[in-house]
Amino acid sequence: MNVISCNCGSVSFEIKAQPSDIYVCHCSICQRFSGAGGMPVVILKNDDFNWLSGQEHIKVWRKPDADWEANFCSICGSALPGMNDPDRMFVPAGILPPDIEGLEIKHHIFVGSKACWDEIAGAGKQHDGPFTG
Ligand SMILES: [Zn+2]
Ligand SMILES: [Zn+2]
């Protein structure tokens, strides 16, 4: 797969698996992080993910008392992949190439916290809270 990078190009990575499922989180933290109604991510095994450059430019914000972190480029602010689980990388869907075949929204989570103006469309399954499998 091609080299994927942030807006300024300082941070880049590659993925070695074909992602298919997008999860969109509509919680209040993801609303602020994305500046939008929800944060779409794909989840990859660590083995399928590789940083290529610019890791020194990554800023991490950890939510106090929680297992949650936001990673972003300290130069351009692009949302970057992060590890919210020790075995898996959470990759913002918007940083991926726009033409990955078969990639679609499968689940909306924390729909119970969504903004009133956030209208969810499509066939993705809606969950009030976290994804429970
Ligand atoms: Zn950048
Ligand atoms: Zn969230």
User: From CA 52, how far away is CA 108, in angstroms rounded?
Assistant: 30
* Structural domain contains residue 131: no
d(CA 108, CA 26): 7
Residue 20 belongs to a domain = yes
Rounded to a whole number, what is the distance in angstroms from the first to the last CA of the chain?
A: 28
How far, in Å, is the centroid of ligand 1 from the Cα of 82? 15
For ion ligand 1, residues whose CB falls within 5 Å: 6, 8, 10, 73, 75-76
21/88 Cα distance (integer angstroms): 14
Calculate the CA dihedral of residues 59, 87, 14, 10 and round it to 10 degrees. 10
Would 78 be classed as within a structural domain?
yes
Flag whether 114 is in a domain. yes
Per-position pLDDT tens, the chain of length 133: 679 999 999 999 999 999 999 999 999 999 999 999 999 999 999 999 999 999 999 999 998 888 788 999 999 999 999 987 888 999 999 999 999 999 999 999 999 999 999 999 999 999 999 987 6
Specify the number of domains making up the chain.
Answer: 1
Measured from the alpha carbon of residue 29, the closest ligand is 2
For residue 5, the CA-to-ligand 1 centroid distance in Å is: 8
* Contact (CB, 8 A) for 126 and 24: no
Distance, CA of 46 to CA of 89 (rounded, Å): 6
Model pLDDT, residue 66 = 80
CATH number (domain holding residue 101): 2.170.150.70
Residue-level pLDDT at 72: 97
**Domain that residue 75 falls in:** 4-126
The pLDDT of residue 83: 83
Q: What's this model's pTM, rounded to 2 decimal places?
A: 0.93
Burial 111-123 (b: 16+ CB within 10 A, else e): bebbeeeeeeeee
The reply to whether 133 falls in a domain is no
Proximal ligand: closest to the CA of 4: 1
